[in-house]
Structure 1
Amino acid sequence: MAQIELIATTAFGLEAVVARELRNLGYEELTVEDGKITFTADESAICRCNLWLRSADRVLIKVGAFPATTFEELFQGVKALPWPDWLPEDANFPVEGKSVRSKLFSVSDCQAITKKAIVEKMKQAYHRSWFDEKGPRYTIEVALLKDMATLTIDTSGAGLHKRGYRQLVGQAPLKETLAAAMIQLSPWRHDRVLVDPFCGSGTIPIEAALIGLNLAPGLLREFAAEKWGNIPEKRWKEARDEAQSLAQRDRELRISGTDIDEKVLSLARYHARQAGVEGKIHLQRQPMAELRSRYKYGFIICNPPYGERLGEEDEVKKLYREMGQVFGALDTWSYLVLTAYPQFERFFGRRADKKRKLYNGRIQCNYYQFYGPRPPKREEGTDNRVDE
């Protein structure tokens, strides 16, 4: 199979996580940059990466890149790329765009010029003057960064955080991709205890169960490239068969989530059923202050309230003090907390062993990591933590 240059996009701060996922899939030659990892693979990688990547946003085909400081350079550069290799005669190909620190700063003009250049290339290839665009969707992006234009085609369709299990959304939901990254940035493994005392609609426990059972997160959904004629249907079938064969559905997991809101817990139970992990996680209504465990060693991974609304700051300070006391009683546990509150450590009462900047949507957060002692007998497996 021919080699294709691909890009896995990701939120800032998660590049090392996604790079590790790609290496685990067998793709070793990677170029890691802010917000993206570029690699070369065959067409089957489009299928496998969409199915398996837990913390990436999208999988893109890199059609080409070139310097562009004028609209004429952009037009000629786009037109020179091999669009007919990817776009069939009836392709629906909308053009999206972005521009950062570039002379060509008008995104709408760049989109229009890119569209015109692609149409001119298609006219030459298909000997037609007009295209009705009623076929499969090939979303194209023209991205300008420091006067370098990169042209891509999106293979994913909906973002990879849309696993297919969460059709109902609670207040301020945590993206599935970020929840999966939080787990993968920890040393947690499937044979260890994990608790989320602010589980809301269940994203962290569900993502942990998918990881623990080695279930590909994309198994429940479809992708844009599945409708393309470029990639044989058998490639998708092979990728899905591989994912099914690697699943470890019989594993016993010790994952639980609690929350004080029964309404969001009902969402969590629904999402767990949709994800196929209902019997693998325990969900119950319980105030964080009542958190206890019969297990000596375990992990708390959570995304507590940040206190962003007016009048909530005092409540959040009180909550973080209480968290420090409750978590501190589990003195042999590790706890990992994502919050945008800048003085979290002060009120929690302990400085984190490690702190990592992450983004929850557009909100800049810190991921505070407090590590307890290792169990006396090293459990099976290797350290799962991702470090840069």
Structure 2
Amino acid sequence: MNTVELIAPCHFGLEAVLKREILDLGYEISKVEDGKVTFLGDMEAIAYANVFLRTAERILLKVGEIHAETFDELFERTRELPWEDYIPRDGKFWVAKATSIKSKLFSPSDIQSIMKKAMVERLKRVYGVSWFEESGESYPVRVTFMKDQAVIGIDTTGVSLHKRGYRQMTAKAPITETLAAALIMLTPWNKNRIFVDPFCGSGTFPIEAAMMAAGIAPGMNREFLADKWDGLVPKKFWYHALDEANERMDTQIEVDIQGYDIDGEVVKAARANAKMAGVDHLIHFQQRPVNMLNHPKKYGFVVTNPPYGERIEEKAKLPGLYREIGEAFQRLDSWSEYVITSYEEAEKYIGRKADKNRKIYNGMIKTYFYQFLGAKPPKPRKNQGESFG
């Protein structure tokens, strides 16, 4: 089967997590850049990547890479690409998104217009038609310019991969599902360890943790653009991916995953979202403020996204709130705690310097992923029945 290049964009700073996921699926990495990982696969890889990858934003089928400093060059280089290998005679195609960094061609709308004209010219000649009805399936094109070099791909995903299909109810300032999954993967947490989110909001951290624990593929219950591209990605590839997803799933496992929030309505929304995801039986949600955070077991994980104080009136409350977080962490002194926030004085008021700190962009907001590492639980002796959180 022919090898193609696939591009998986992700959050800046989390490329290594996505790279590991792709390698675990069995595909070869060809390039890692800021905000994206490119890998090699066959057409079946389009189905597997869309269904299984937890931290990618979408999957692009790479058409080509060109150099262009003028619009004439852009037209000619775009026209030279083998669009007919991907877009059928009745395909609906357009340049859905163009971005440009440090390049002479910087107007997204002009880039989109010129490229569409070049694609039309190429396909008119190949298919021997004078105009296109574009009545078939969608083939949106995305192009990224960097220093006059453009990478061009067709979007196989459609609605971003962070839309798992379970989050109908959202709290304010929600964290995306892909970012939540990536942050959990940056921790050593596994399904045998306790997981607590004291600011659970719409439940994204606990739900993503439960889906990982139960082996539920993130793309199992949604549609993709490419699942209608029968001539390019046959239906059997999607059936193979979904069959494997069903085989990997085990929702009968026993886990200790908890989500708390001070707002009762938010907790109700989190429960509803967990039910949509099929993991409500794996998570204990409760209305509880952070100053009530405690746990009888000695070892566990806190992974959370507390308020950032983006509004001025909220900013004044942050020192007190982060002091309460610090006091809760002291009560859980042998636990590991992971906090993502844009609040730059978080460590000061938590009262402890993080063991590790990683800068991550949550949308356009620069955030920090503070990692306060606890003691590792002792390994149980052979034939010892007791398990540790």
Provide the residue aligned with 2:55 in structure 1. 55
C-alpha distance in 2 between matches for 1:235 and 1:103: 41
Q: TM-score, with normalisation over the residues of structure 1?
A: 0.96
> Following superposition, which runs of at least 4 residues in structure 1 exceed 4 angstroms of deviation?
none
Provide the residue aligned with 1:323 in structure 2. 325
Q: Cα deviation per residue 1:200-245 (whole Å; 9 max; x = unaligned)?
A: 1100000000111111001010111011121110100001001110
Q: State the 1:43 CA deviation.
A: 0.7
Q: State the 1:260 CA deviation.
A: 1.0
Provide the residue aligned with 1:238 in structure 2. 240
Structure 2 vs 1, CA of residues 306 and 57 (structure 1 numbering), >3 Å: closer, same or farther? same
- SS for the counterpart of 2:59 is strand
C-alpha distance in 2 between matches for 1:261 and 1:41: 46
Provide the residue aligned with 1:385 in structure 2. none
Aligned partners of 1:140 and 1:154 also within 8 Å: yes
Provide the residue aligned with 1:210 in structure 2. 211
Gaps of 5+ in 2: 383-389
C-alpha distance in 2 between matches for 1:379 and 1:324: 33
Provide the residue aligned with 2:363 in structure 1. 361
Q: Cα deviation per residue 1:75-134 (whole Å; 9 max; x = unaligned)?
A: 111111110110011111121211111001111111111000000111011110111212
Structural mapping, 1:298-313, within 5 Å: 298-313=300-315
Aligned partners of 2:164 and 2:218 also within 8 Å: yes
Aligned partners of 1:114 and 1:142 also within 8 Å: no
Q: Cα deviation per residue 1:129-170 (whole Å; 9 max; x = unaligned)?
A: 111212111110122111001111000100000001112222
Provide the residue aligned with 2:106 in structure 1. 105
Structure 2 vs 1, CA of residues 378 and 54 (structure 1 numbering), >3 Å: closer, same or farther? farther
Q: Cα deviation per residue 1:237-267 (whole Å; 9 max; x = unaligned)?
A: 0010011101122211110000011111111
The amino acid of 1:209's aligned partner reads A
Provide the residue aligned with 1:160 in structure 2. 161
C-alpha distance in 1 between matches for 2:3 and 2:327: 55
Provide the residue aligned with 1:87 in structure 2. 87
Q: Does 1:151 align with 2:152?
A: yes
Count matched residues: 380
C-alpha distance in 2 between matches for 1:313 and 1:173: 18
- SS for the counterpart of 1:19 is helix
The amino acid of 1:358's aligned partner reads I
Structural mapping, 1:198-347, within 5 Å: 198-229=199-230, 230-347=232-349
Aligned partners of 2:305 and 2:339 also within 8 Å: yes
Provide the residue aligned with 2:386 in structure 1. none
C-alpha distance in 2 between matches for 1:167 and 1:187: 29
C-alpha distance in 2 between matches for 1:55 and 1:62: 19
Gaps of 5+ in 1: 381-388
C-alpha distance in 1 between matches for 2:19 and 2:76: 33
C-alpha distance in 2 between matches for 1:275 and 1:376: 33
C-alpha distance in 2 between matches for 1:336 and 1:65: 39
The amino acid of 2:15's aligned partner reads E
The amino acid of 1:123's aligned partner reads K
Aligned partners of 1:104 and 1:147 also within 8 Å: yes
- SS for the counterpart of 1:130 is coil
Structure 2 vs 1, CA of residues 269 and 379 (structure 1 numbering), >3 Å: closer, same or farther? farther
Structural mapping, 1:166-205, within 5 Å: 166-205=167-206
Q: State the 1:378 CA deviation.
A: 6.3
- CA RMSD, 1 decimal: 1.2
Structural mapping, 1:118-129, within 5 Å: 118-129=119-130
Provide the residue aligned with 1:64 in structure 2. 64
Q: State the 1:312 CA deviation.
A: 1.8
Q: TM-score, with normalisation over the residues of structure 2?
A: 0.96
Aligned partners of 1:305 and 1:339 also within 8 Å: yes
Aligned partners of 1:19 and 1:30 also within 8 Å: no
